[in-house]
Amino acid sequence: MNQPDLTAQSVVKRFGDHVAVDSISFEVARGSFFSILGPSGCGKTTLLRMIAGFLAPDGGEIAIGGRSMRGVAPNRRPVNMVFQQLALFPMMSVGENVEFGLARRGVPRAERRRKAEAMLERVGLAGAAAKRVDELSGGQRQRVAIARSLVLEPTLLLLDEPLGALDLKLREHMKIELKQLQAEFGTTFVYITHDQSEALVLSDHVGVMNHGRFEQIGTPQDLYYRPRTPFVAGFVGDSNRLAGRATGIDGDRVRVDTGDGWIVEARRAGEVASADAVEVFLRPEAATLSRPGEASAAPAATHEGVVESLLFDGAKSAVLLRERRSRREVRIALPQTGEFADLKTGEAVAFHFDPARAVCFRARRDGDA
Amino acid sequence: MPDAAVAATGGSGWRKALLMAPALAWLGLLIVLPHAELAVLSFREQVGPRHYVPSLSHYREFFHEPEYWHTFVRTAWMSIVATSATLLLAFPIAWVIAKIARGRAAAWLFLACMIPFWISETVRTLGWMILLRETGVLPTLLVKLGILAHPVEFLYHDTTILVGLIYTSMLFMIVPLVSSLESLDNALIEAAYDLGANGFTVLRKIVIPHAAPGITAGCIIVFMLTLGNYITPTLLGGKDSGWFTEQIYTEFITRFDWGQGAAFGFLLLVLSTTIVIAGLKLTGQRFGDVMGRQ
Amino acid sequence: MIPSLPRPAWLRAATALYVAAFLGFLFLPLIVVSVFAFNNAPYPAPPWHGFTLDWFFANDPTGRLGMFHDDELMHSIWTSCKVGVWVTLLSVLVGLANALLLERHEFRGKQALSILMLVPLVIPGVILGISILAFASQIAQFLDDHFDWYVRFLRPGLPLVVLGQFSYIATIATLTLRARLSRFDRTLEDAALNLGASRAATFRTILLPYLRPALIGTAMMSFLLSFADFNTTLMLVGGSPPLTVLMYGRMHEGATPVLNAVSVFLMAASAVLAIGLMRRGPRRASG
């Protein structure tokens, strides 16, 4: 890994008794797209505002481009930010918005104009310089906000949930556009969001944040397939969560009794001992549905259930069923083949899953999900 | 640590002190201390050349001299009448502007209500004088139409003073009424109708409770302005208009009896403050909220 | 009651009639004043004697003297303008400082201070006038007694008139500027800092342009209020009366059509100002 553009070491921020950011350390490699993913109130905005310089850490060290940022005012940092509500200046034209930072640096007018036009062209807004900000669509404003920052060639671009204000369709579209922009400019992006889909789609690396700490930092695939904590398993992607007690351990296999008559097997994650209270996370697409009586060639245990409701959502369609013995609700993805298109509510079905694709953690003491 | 981040996002002490200085100078030197001085003047009595003792003599004088307190009561009473009349006359117009007229028509009507108030009260009063005096437009017109046998003096009556006061206060009632009525969701009125209410019930149960802050604000401002008015009663009411502000002027400027004038001033202030507080108490509102709406 | 509900025809008619009568009530005095500014008669009263511009332009020292040749009158207009400019300047500056103080800073007694700032609006103007007069005289007396200084500034006259008007117009300026400032999105300032602007540059390039319409509006309002003020001015005025006080004095003596001419002049000036303000309307929406 080359020299990181952003390093944080044991960064702490307290508000009164509340510890918003609790001794966080991480690095972001040059030219990469790093996301900080977490529920609201997890401290991600506080962390971002400390990187931007709007808040001073109570402890620890933030360095950008290898230079410590201690005591450096926000207007002197090599960092620019795309704000949640974009914060485009309504009293200025689009061009003036993009030129704003250059003007503050004392760049001559002609050069400013040239750079701004070139930047607007790169984000697909050629000729929009004279427009007023409120004449633009949501997606165009987004691009102006990004152009306004990138024209300053920052070491680091911070993005504070910039897609939050957009409607669903546009958000999907802008996700792709953002990823392409980042690839094209090669600027290091630090992106914060509470939307796991945005984080997974966009990022090279994601830090999952909870209660002021990182639960796990890794590639999107790591987080999805190899979660290291129950919080990550539950927060990233959809999962069925089953609480129970470990009754037997065989290497990295754990046998779990849900306490109401259902026995499942899962892969052990971290320390789990026999008789521990545990949580099992099973992804809807990890289980395979079959019709009872059909002799399945499954190597794993087969479970039975009754269809409770059908959740049709195109490619993301699923079925909600009740496991026969425990009466627990389980969500299972429907295959794309249309094989179960005729499934009816109340119908009895069977399902099985590879124990390697279900993860088992020792249950947390504080029962927060 | 030298916290540049915090310094850059505001909150430093010297900046606060610098911003506070003008406010303290303004309120201290032009409001608080002058009124303290007024209080001191009113509560003392001159017993020799440049020699004063604390005394209630100026206030006693006020109650002993019927002319003084008659004027006082009359001013208060007429102000209340003028305020009520202004409210009644302004409400339908505010309703039309806020609820019935649409778009440009509403904007024009609102603008039309404002225009006269861009012009000084002196000019407007001049207009009423030309209209109402014995040789004025209205008496002449009435004689021409055969309604009157000979011209009558319409100036120098209490009713004339009231008309002038209502006229000059109108805008200060319309503006808060319109803003409070505009914030009333039409769906509430429709819902009330839908649930079987008639126009009167809607007015009483929906509109007036909703507009209460605006009504209070308007009434307080109008009452204050009427009580403290000088031009309208003295010009339209003539020499015997019997308005309390005129009494203050007479004591202060003509007779140069500042002690007596200060006592009158204080009494007027107490009266207006009492009415303001009573108005707020009656409708359960806070001063800051009501005034902040203006 | 509202357009979406059925309104009987009589109610519609009554509403229209009331609005018409109301507008008549509002504009009648102004129309009458204007008409008699052009009447060729020495008194502003019917009947109509024909059209003349004498009350504006005549310059006959023994007979008619139009407003533009009435030195006393012209001087009083000039006085009002001077006072107005000072009051406007003071009110806008203090109002801006107050708005920034109340919207941007926390301190003990903030609530009390913001209430105290509203108080001048509920004190009758006459009382503001006499209290400032009494206080200023007290200080002047004190300085005279103890230091033998004669401070002209503290005696009735234009400086006191300016202070008297400012004492309540500052409240109105504070209210309007604070209202505008409270709707300001502070992330715009964060964004400016983030783009490399200094604090001073942020104030100049972001906050001032945002407040500009409100600053202009407040300035115009302050000037108009100052120009029209009578109650406070009456108590503090010295030898050089502003227009309102002069007009009042002359109306007491018996009006001549010159006053109508001045009124027409004022209305025209107000109209120009109002149109200027409305031209700015569309830009205000973008801020």
CATH number of the CATH domain containing A116: 3.40.50.300
Tell whether the model's pLDDT for residue B204 goes beyond 90: no
The overall longest dimension of chain B from CA atoms, in Å, is 91
ipTM of predicted assembly, 2 dp:
0.87
Q: Which two tokens stand for residue C195?
A: 């783009």
Q: Which two tokens stand for residue A265?
A: 């097997």
Q: Which two tokens stand for residue C178?
A: 């604070």
Local confidence band at C280 (pLDDT 50, 70, 90 cut-offs): low
| Same domain (yes/no): A207, A264 | no
Neighbours of chain A (3+ CB pairs under 8 A): B, C
- Domains: count for chain A: 2
Tell whether the model's pLDDT for residue A238 goes beyond 80: yes
Listed as own residue / partner, the contacts of A214-221 with beta carbons closer than 8 Å and 24 or more positions apart are A214/A24, A214/A26, A217/A26
- Domains: count for chain B: 1
* B10 in reach of chain A (CB within 8 A): no
The answer to the question of residue B62 being in a domain is: yes
Tell whether the model's pLDDT for residue C287 goes beyond 50: no
pLDDT of residue B263: 95
List the one residue out of A226, A225, A151, A146 whose CA is nearest residue A191. A146
pLDDT of residue A11: 95
- CA C191 – CA A82 distance, rounded (Å): 8
The answer to the question of residue C142 being in a domain is: yes
The answer to the question of residue A227 being in a domain is: yes
| Same domain (yes/no): A161, A267 | no
Judge whether A206 and A250 are in contact, CB under 8 Å: no
Tallying the residues shown for chain C, one arrives at 287
pLDDT tens for each residue of A186-200: 999 999 999 999 999
The answer to the question of residue C244 being in a domain is: yes
pLDDT of residue B8: 40
**Bridge partners, residue A319, by sequence:** A310, A332
Is A60 buried (19+), middle (13-18) or exposed (0-12) by CB count in 10 A? middle
- CA B84 – CA B91 distance, rounded (Å): 11
Of A79, A89, A104, the CB nearest to C188: A89
Site from A68, A70, A104 to mutate, B interface, most B CB atoms within 10 angstroms:
A70
Percent of chain B with pLDDT over 90: 52
pLDDT of residue C235: 93
| Same domain (yes/no): A154, A203 | yes
* C224 in reach of chain B (CB within 8 A): yes
List the one residue out of A195, B127, A31 whose CA is nearest residue C266. B127
Q: Are strands A188-193 and A33-37 parallel, antiparallel or unpaired?
A: parallel
Q: Which residues in chain C touch residue B118, judged by CB atoms under 8 angstroms apart?
A: 224, 270-271, 273-274
The answer to the question of residue A367 being in a domain is: no
Listed as own residue / partner, the contacts of A307-311 with beta carbons closer than 8 Å and 24 or more positions apart are A307/A343, A307/A344, A307/A345, A307/A346, A307/A347, A307/A348, A307/A349, A308/A345, A309/A345, A310/A343, A310/A345
Q: Which residues in chain A touch residue B12, judged by CB atoms under 8 angstroms apart?
A: none
pLDDT tens for each residue of B235-278: 999 877 789 999 999 998 889 999 999 999 999 999 988 888 88
| Same domain (yes/no): A9, A140 | yes
Q: Which two tokens stand for residue A126?
A: 């050629």
- Tell me which range, A243-252, B18-27, B181-190, is most confidently predicted by mean pLDDT: B18-27
- Domains: count for chain C: 1
| Same domain (yes/no): A197, A273 | no
* C161 in reach of chain B (CB within 8 A): no
The answer to the question of residue A369 being in a domain is: no
CA distance B2 to chain A (A): 7
CA distance A69 to chain B (A): 10
| Same domain (yes/no): A102, A204 | yes
Q: What would the mean pLDDT of B220-237 be, rounded to a whole number? A: 92
Q: CB distance B136–C29 less than 8 Å? A: no
Q: Which two tokens stand for residue B171?
A: 């805008």
Averaged confidence pLDDT in chain C: 90
The answer to the question of residue A145 being in a domain is: yes
Percent of chain B with pLDDT over 70: 94
Q: CB distance B5–A75 less than 8 Å? A: no
Cα A149–Cα A153–Cα A158 angle in degrees, nearest 5: 45
The answer to the question of residue C168 being in a domain is: yes
Local confidence band at B292 (pLDDT 50, 70, 90 cut-offs): low
pLDDT of residue C285: 37
Task: Give the contacts of C165 (CB within 8 A, at least 6 positions apart).
Answer: C83, C87, C225, C226, C229, C232, C233
pLDDT of residue B1: 34
Among all residues of chain B, which has the CA nearest to that of C29?
B127
Range of the domain at A155: 4-231
Q: CB distance B1–A75 less than 8 Å? A: no
Q: CB distance B5–A74 less than 8 Å? A: yes
Neighbours of chain C (3+ CB pairs under 8 A): A, B
Q: Which residues in chain A touch residue B4, judged by CB atoms under 8 angstroms apart?
A: 53, 56, 71-73
- CA B130 – CA C250 distance, rounded (Å): 14
DSSP A104-129: HTT--HHHHHHHHHHHHHHTT-TT-T
| SS3 category, C184 | coil
What separation, in Å, do the N-terminal and C-terminal C-alpha atoms of chain A show? 35
Q: Which residues in chain C touch residue A152, judged by CB atoms under 8 angstroms apart?
A: 195-196
Local confidence band at B283 (pLDDT 50, 70, 90 cut-offs): confident
pTM equals: 0.83
Decide which of A231, A265, A285 is a domain's last residue.
A231
Q: Are strands A156-160 and A188-193 parallel, antiparallel or unpaired?
A: parallel
pLDDT of residue B80: 93
Averaged confidence pLDDT in chain A: 90
Q: Which residues in chain A touch residue C201, judged by CB atoms under 8 angstroms apart?
A: 104
Range of the domain at C93: 71-254
Q: What would the mean pLDDT of C56-79 be, rounded to a whole number? A: 89
Q: CB distance A76–C196 less than 8 Å? A: yes
- CA A234 – CA A244 distance, rounded (Å): 16
Local confidence band at B3 (pLDDT 50, 70, 90 cut-offs): very low
pLDDT of residue C275: 82
Q: Which two tokens stand for residue C247?
A: 């007009």
Cα A303–Cα A308–Cα A310 angle in degrees, nearest 5: 105
The answer to the question of residue B228 being in a domain is: yes
Site from A47, A48, A55 to mutate, B interface, most B CB atoms within 10 angstroms:
A55
The answer to the question of residue C32 being in a domain is: no
| SS3 category, A47 | helix
Residues in A 121-180 with any Cβ partner in C closer than 8 A: 132, 134, 148-149, 152
Of B69-73, B260-264, C267-271, which range is least confident? C267-271
Q: CB distance A72–B6 less than 8 Å? A: no
Tell whether the model's pLDDT for residue B79 goes beyond 70: yes
Q: Which two tokens stand for residue C123?
A: 């004190």
| Same domain (yes/no): A78, A156 | yes
Of C57-61, C68-72, C135-139, which range is least confident? C57-61
Listed as own residue / partner, the contacts of A264-268 with beta carbons closer than 8 Å and 24 or more positions apart are A264/A301, A264/A303, A264/A355, A264/A358, A265/A300, A265/A301, A265/A355, A265/A358, A266/A355, A266/A358, A266/A359, A266/A360, A267/A355, A267/A356, A267/A357, A267/A358, A267/A359, A267/A360, A268/A360
Q: What would the mean pLDDT of A17-46 be, rounded to a whole number? A: 93
Judge whether B186 and B153 are in contact, CB under 8 Å: no
Q: Which residues in chain B touch residue A75, judged by CB atoms under 8 angstroms apart?
A: 8
pLDDT of residue C110: 92
| Same domain (yes/no): A202, A252 | no
**Bridge partners, residue A209, by sequence:** A214
pLDDT tens for each residue of A256-286: 998 888 999 999 988 888 888 999 999 999 9
Q: CB distance C197–A104 less than 8 Å? A: yes
> Mind spelling out the 3-state secondary structure of chain B?
CCCHHHHHCCCCHHHHHHHHHHHHHHHHHHHHHHHHHHHHHHCEEEEECCEEEECCHHHHHHHHCHHHHHHHHHHHHHHHHHHHHHHHHHHHHHHHHHHHCCHHHHHHHHHHHHHHHHCCHHHHHHHHHHHHCCCCHHHHHHHHCCCCCCCCCCCCCHHHHHHHHHHHHHHHHHHHHHHHHHCCCHHHHHHHHHCCCCHHHHHHHHHHHHHHHHHHHHHHHHHHHHHCCCHHHHHHHHHHCCCHHHHHHHHHHHCCCHHHHHHHHHHHHHHHHHHHHHHHHHHCCCHHHHHHCC
Q: What would the mean pLDDT of A91-119 be, rounded to a whole number? A: 93
Among all residues of chain B, which has the CA nearest to that of C35?
B127
Q: Which residues in chain B touch residue A71, judged by CB atoms under 8 angstroms apart?
A: 1-4
Local confidence band at A298 (pLDDT 50, 70, 90 cut-offs): low
The answer to the question of residue C152 being in a domain is: yes
The answer to the question of residue C41 being in a domain is: no
Q: What would the mean pLDDT of C244-261 be, rounded to a whole number? A: 89
Averaged confidence pLDDT in chain B: 87
* A70 in reach of chain B (CB within 8 A): yes
List the one residue out of A28, A48, A39, A35 whose CA is nearest residue A206. A35
Q: Read off φ and ψ for residue B37, nearest 5 degrees.
A: -60, -40
Tell whether the model's pLDDT for residue B286 goes beyond 80: no
pLDDT of residue A190: 95
Q: Which tops the pLDDT comparison, C180 or B286? A: C180
Site from B43, B115, B124, B130 to mutate, C interface, most C CB atoms within 10 angstroms:
B130
The answer to the question of residue B44 being in a domain is: yes
Among all residues of chain C, which has the CA nearest to that of B184?
C2
Q: Which tops the pLDDT comparison, C273 or C184? A: C184
* A59 in reach of chain B (CB within 8 A): no
pLDDT of residue C282: 44
CA distance A70 to chain B (A): 9
- CA C85 – CA C100 distance, rounded (Å): 23
Q: CB distance B4–A71 less than 8 Å? A: yes
Categorise residue C49: left if φ over 0, alpha if ψ from -120 to 50, beta otherwise: alpha
The answer to the question of residue B25 being in a domain is: no
Of A87, A132, A134, the CB nearest to C187: A87
Local confidence band at C256 (pLDDT 50, 70, 90 cut-offs): confident
CATH number of the domain that residue A299 is part of? 2.40.50.140
Of B1, B2, B8, the CB nearest to A74: B8
Percent of chain A with pLDDT over 70: 96
Tell whether the model's pLDDT for residue B6 goes beyond 60: no
CA distance A148 to chain C (A): 8
Decide which of A231, A255, A288 is a domain's last residue.
A231
pLDDT of residue A166: 81
Q: CB distance B265–C126 less than 8 Å? A: yes
* A76 in reach of chain C (CB within 8 A): yes
| Same domain (yes/no): A222, A301 | no
Local confidence band at B290 (pLDDT 50, 70, 90 cut-offs): low
Judge whether C228 and C244 are in contact, CB under 8 Å: yes
CA distance A156 to chain C (A): 12
pLDDT tens for each residue of A312-321: 888 888 999 9
Tell whether the model's pLDDT for residue B54 goes beyond 70: yes
* B8 in reach of chain A (CB within 8 A): yes
CATH number of the domain that residue B189 is part of? 1.10.3720.10
Decide which of A186, A210, A231 is a domain's last residue.
A231
Range of the domain at B194: 33-292
pLDDT of residue B2: 35
Q: What would the mean pLDDT of A214-228 be, rounded to a whole number? A: 94
- Single-letter code of the amino acid located at A118: A
Residues in C 5-64 with any Cβ partner in B closer than 8 A: 5, 15, 18-19, 22-23, 25-33, 36, 43-47
Tell whether the model's pLDDT for residue A367 goes beyond 50: no
Tell whether the model's pLDDT for residue A217 goes beyond 90: yes
Other Cβ atoms less than 10 A from the Cβ of C49: the count is: 11
Of B1, B2, B9, the CB nearest to A54: B9
Q: Which residues in chain A touch residue C198, judged by CB atoms under 8 angstroms apart?
A: 75, 104
Q: CB distance A53–B1 less than 8 Å? A: no
Query: Does the CA dihedral C233-C238-C240-C246 come out positive or negative?
Result: positive
CATH number of the domain that residue C128 is part of? 1.10.3720.10
Among all residues of chain A, which has the CA nearest to that of B1?
A71
pLDDT of residue A296: 58
- Single-letter code of the amino acid located at A148: R
Query: Which position has the token pair 């009411």?
Result: B237
Residues in A 100-119 with any Cβ partner in C closer than 8 A: 100-101, 104-105
